[in-house]
A = this chain, B = another copy of it.
Amino acid sequence: MAGKNVFYAQSGGVTSVINASALGVFDEVAEHPSTFGAVYAGKNGIIGALKEELIDVSQMSSRERAGLLHTPAGAFGSCRYKLKDIEQQRAQYERLIDVFRAHEIGYFFYNGGGDSQDTAHKVSQLSETLGYPITCIGVPKTIDNDLPHTDCCPGFGSVAKYVATSIREAALDVESMAASSTKVFILEVMGRHAGWIAGAAGLAQTNEHPAPQLILFPERVFDRGAVMAKIAEVVEQQGFCAIVASEGIRDAEGRFVAETGIRDAFGHAQLGGVAQRLAEMVRDDLGLKYHYAIADYLQRSARHIASQTDVDQAYALGRHAVRLAQSGENAVMPTIVRTQDSPYTYTLGHVPLASVANIERPMPEAFISEDGFSITEAARTYFAPLIEGEAFPPFHNGLPDYVRVQYHLVKPKLAPFSV
């Protein structure tokens, strides 16, 4: 007799390897047919559960299923939707239970970051608070790398590899033209609260490659004078300066550097990011020719340059989540436990969701150099293995052969519910 059915959902900002975790979940579930029944994926995350939009994973083609390992973004749709406390959103929780009961769902795998682990934790309390028995396992994922108790978070290593590769490439470009053209280049990267991504870009700097010569971390107060002086010094000494700037840097008053406060003739606020503001300062304060790039979503969807380590871990954590459920664990999240730096070795562990939910892991202070503009050896030791290995996707007609899953929805059994 098959066991209870499985619900899997993707949550929050997607990554280039979250689908690898989905495949890990599906593959492991398939190995325990006496424990697990059918697998349903939420269309657009938890919203799919609330709206009873359940994707029947068994209806996926073999190409679609295999493609999960090498396709970026959320193959089943993700969402930015955070469940409040049960007291505040009782109707939502009761709806979840209605849907779970209607589809005999006994296992809930929620693939997301800090907010999502909080949701997973709340769902795990349903058996206690609302009397519905469910096994709830979080599957970690976030390019922000800010989940506690795990060596790293799936998605981060691939962003790290992308930004380090990109700044190395662009810096070679700038250096080769600097004598008569652009001398300052700025790459804006994600990381509003912590400098994990900006810091990882520092791996591009080696004995051979001087760039990036400057990293701007959200952990450090942005001091315009000091930064411009440093840029001028680097350009004077090396002929060019390649900068990686976190979108989250703030000045001494706590204001985001990216905030412009400028309005056009119609009173509309002007957009603009950190890179643009820095470029304006370089122009106004130093009179140097600049260029800037904003990687934006390109960095977190760049599956074509994904880290093999990252893909492996994403897949392994999906599998491990299911093994935890199989072995009777509940309300936990599997983790990566580093056992050695070089060569990198790790084991899989797990921690209670209660210890993860809503806790942001900051980047260690010891990762930032004394002058605040580069990374330390400790940081290199930590970051280096996470970008190891190239997990190139298959290509077709010169482009990555990513899949777009056709959704076969399970027939609804309940009345509609609006979210």
A residues in contact (CB < 8 Å) with B: 10, 13-14, 16, 44, 47, 71-81, 161, 164-166, 168-170, 172-177, 179-182, 185, 187, 203-204, 208-209, 260, 262, 264-265, 268, 270-272, 275-276, 279-280, 283-284, 291-298, 300-305, 307, 384, 387-390, 392, 395, 397-400, 402-404
Contact = CB atoms under 8 A, between A and B. Distances in A.
Given A177-B78, A384-B397, A399-B168, A292 B296 contact: yes
Contact of A307 (B296, B384, B398): B398
Contacts of A388: 397-398
A297 B170 contact: yes
B300 A173 contact: yes
B301 A400 contact: no
Count identical subunits in the complex: 2
A384 B404 contact: no
B176 A74 contact: yes
Nearest to A164: B399
Given A180-B81, A294-B294, A404-B209, A301 B170 contact: yes
Contacts of A403: 208
B395 A176 contact: no
Listed residue (A73, A80, A279) with the most chain B CB atoms within 10 angstroms of its CB: A73
Listed residue (A185, A268, A390) with the most chain B CB atoms within 10 angstroms of its CB: A390
A398 B170 CA distance: 17
A270 B80 CA distance: 33
Nearest to A273: B276
Contacts of A76: 176
Contacts of A71: 172
16 contacts: A44-B179, A71-B172, A75-B176, A77-B177, A78-B177, A166-B298, A169-B297, A169-B400, A169-B402, A172-B402, A182-B297, A209-B402, A272-B272, A275-B294, A292-B294, A384-B397
